[in-house]
Structure 1
Amino acid sequence: MTTDQVNEPGAERPMTRRGRAKAARRAGLLEAAAEQISAKGFTAVRLEDIAAAAGISGPGMYRHFSSKSELLDELLIDISRRLYEGGEQVVARCGVAQADPAATMRALIEFHIDVLVTKPDLIAVQDRDLSSLSAAANHEVRSLQRRYVERWVDVLVGVGRAQDGTPIDRDEARVRVHAVFGLLNSSPRLPDHPRDRLRRLLVSMAGSALLAPPGNAL
């Protein structure tokens, strides 16, 4: 690669060793913050507590985040963006591969559950502390969440019918998706269960709930 290629406009410059170290520390702080806030609640946690959990000094924390609110904003924007962008990638990949709404729906469920079981602290914080976001972050998170829900609704409308053949229109699909998110997002509060078995159980329950007949099955 020539010097001109390295310096051409828009080219991504490789991160320096110092830059990589700073990014790693920041990622460690975010992980510690998610764990601390999930366990204690946003109002009860201090920046110094998070710094101690991440193994850095209290003053060192302020080189990365100016306030606890800024840290929460980044945490919840990040998880909301991760879900939305990941969902878009699932739909794009499945659409190219098979154009099968039912298979795409299952892939979306599996993706969402994979995030839940690997990032339970973040899901718990999002569920409980959304109201503590700044106004700008709240707007961005809500926008990402709505777009993510609507992508699920698109796919469920594509499936078209419940298990008993009852048609599912867009309004009902949105209700079903929100109900399933309530089910899935409660998983961080479930009793301990082997991860693989929990994943299979949640995939099965979510798929059944999305396509459940509207009548009383009991």
Structure 2
Amino acid sequence: MSTERGVVRRPPGRKAQILAAASGQFHRRGYHQVSMAEVAAEVGITAPALYRHFRSKPQLLRQAVDFDLAALGSAVRSGSFGPPALCAALAAVAIDHRAFGTLWQRDARLLPAVQRAELRRGLRGEVREMARVLVAARPELSPADAELLCWSLLSAYGSLSYHTFAPPRRRFERLLQQIGGDLLAASLTGAPQPPAVPQLSYGVSESRREELLVAAVRLFHERGFDNVSTDQLGAAVGIAGPSVYKHFDTKAELLAAALVRSRERLWHEVEAAIAGGGSRSNGGPAAALAAGLRAYVDFALRHSHYLGAMLSETERLAEPDRKAAVDFRRDFLRTWVGLLQQIRPEYENAEARIRVHAMFALVNDGVRNRPGCHRPDLTQCLIALSRAVLGLS
């Protein structure tokens, strides 16, 4: 746009357009796969014009996370009248900012430690404000219980980052509000201790290769594939960096093998529990889902890095390996959706899938979010909250 004097002015909202485009591209492809030129092209400007707004790609990432976090903060403030208003405001933001979940869980790990700490403090502050609203409506809740419920709500809504299901807008918002309302109304006391799930023995020797697989899952999850060197991988198991190549030809091959191992263990434990639960005294789908849920929570508590790496590093795989990972995720989801629809036949396919994704995210985050992850009753809590988002409480 030009003035009468010929001065070119930036269109209003250009910075917000850039941040929205960057968030979407980081979400779909991963931070390392996106160039500044590609973000600029989506907005319809040149790369030099983009650099007038953001000096570097790390700064763009930081401000993209800030942008979504600010939207979350606005929703929390507008929902201060009570849990229904809070769920309504957050549901709208979850739909409009679907990238925030992956941006927060995956790409924000790449920021400097000081910036990550600042972002975590900001998010914790929003959760405390949410908890204040919840306690005003439910004074019987302890601060710790209220915060766990609020973290779980953010996880459930953040799960929209991991799928593309999108019912019509009004119906989508109503579904999310219902899920959120059931979650914030859930009881965390008096839930019986669910029966323990037998842990399967894999008969795997503690070879150097196995040690590398375990270390790789942890490091890739914590730091991101591109931020982990072979020297760091070797040091984690007590060998020199170049010695990693005695066991794996490339770092990418190590990632692929680590994620295959993660999927195998998850499938064997959960599938066995579902099959056993459904066959006991003709327990049926409800018993199968209950057994599978306990197994999934138990697995997440013991192997949170496996689940985290499966979610955050799949896009770094070569195409055949990435396809195998996506196919596994689709099949695993289909098992749960099928069970849920047998119990709740009124759920349409999209609703069942949205609820199952919310349950997975709630558990995956719940075993890592501090201080809640140290609760002695975390297993019971996560099962109760999972049943709430599935509509089974």
TM-score normalised by length of structure 1: 0.78
Deviations 1:43-91 (A, max 9, x none): 1111121111101222321111111111111112222232233332222
Quote how far apart the aligned CAs of 1:188 are: 4.6
In the alignment, structure 1 residue 119 sits paired with structure 2 residue 119: no
Distance 1:65 1:151 in 2: 33
- Taking structure 1 as reference, are residues 203 and 197 closer, same or farther at Cα in structure 2, changes over 3 Å only? same
Match of 1:99 in 2: 283
Match of 2:269 in 1: 86
Q: How does 1:55-204 map to 2 (within 5 A)?
A: 55-97=238-280, 98-160=282-344, 167-192=346-371, 193-194=373-374, 196-204=376-384
Partner Cα separation in structure 2 for residue 188 and residue 52 of structure 1: 26
* Counterpart-to-counterpart distance in 1, 2:363 and 2:325: 19
Task: Return the offset for 1:212.
Answer: 6.0
Q: Which range moves more in the overlay, 95-104 or 62-71?
A: 95-104
Distance 1:137 1:176, change over 3 A: same
Residue 325 of structure 2 aligns with an amino acid whose one-letter code is: V
Given that 1:127 and 1:185 are in contact with CA atoms closer than 8 Å, whether structure 2 keeps it comes out as no
Find the aligned partners of 1:121 and 1:83 in 2 and give their Cα distance.
12
Q: Report SS of the residue matched to 1:168.
A: coil
Measured after TM superposition, the shift of residue 100 of structure 1 is 2.5
User: Structure 2 vs 1, CA of residues 188 and 65 (structure 1 numbering), >3 Å: closer, same or farther?
Assistant: farther
> SS of the counterpart of 1:190?
coil
| Inter-CA distance 169–99: structure 2 relative to 1 (3 Å threshold) | farther
1:189 and 1:87, CA in 2 relative to 1: closer, same or farther beyond 3 A?
Answer: closer
Structure 2 residue identity aligned to 1:211: G
Contact 1:88 1:151 in 2 (8 A): no
- The answer to whether the 8 Å contact 1:87/1:111 transfers is yes
CA distance in 1, matches of 2:351, 2:286: 17
Q: C-alpha separation between the residues in 1 aligned to 2:209 and 2:291?
A: 31
Q: How far is 1:117 from its partner? A: 0.8
Deviation at 1:148, TM superposition (A): 0.7
Shift of 1:110: 1.0
- In structure 1, how many angstroms separate the alpha carbons of the residues matched to 2:387 and 2:355? 11
* SS, match of residue 347 in structure 2: coil
CA contact (8 A) 2:234 2:240 kept: yes
Paired residue total:
189
- SS of equivalent to 2:207: helix
* Aligned Cα root-mean-square deviation (Å): 2.3
Corresponding position: 1:206 with 2:386: yes
Query: Unaligned regions of 5+ residues in structure 1, if any?
Result: 1-14, 162-166, 214-218
CA–CA distance in 1 between the matches of 2:341 and 2:376?
29
Distance 2:344 2:392 in 1: 12
* Contiguous gaps of at least 5 residues in structure 2: 1-202
If the length of structure 2 is used for normalisation, what is the TM-score?
0.45
Q: Are the counterparts in 1 of residues 255 and 317 from structure 2 also a CA contact under 8 Å?
A: yes
Taking the aligned partners of 1:200 and 1:83, their CA distance within structure 2 comes to 20
| 1:48 correspondence with 2:227 | no
Spell out structure 1 runs of 4+ moving beyond 6 A. Answer: none
- Structure-1 separation of matches of 2:352 and 2:269: 20
Quick one: distance in 1 between partners of 2:328 and 2:222? 25
1:5 aligned partner: none
Please tell me the residue identity of whatever aligns with 2:226: T
Deviations 1:5-41 (A, max 9, x none): xxxxxxxxxx9xxx95xx6211111111122222222
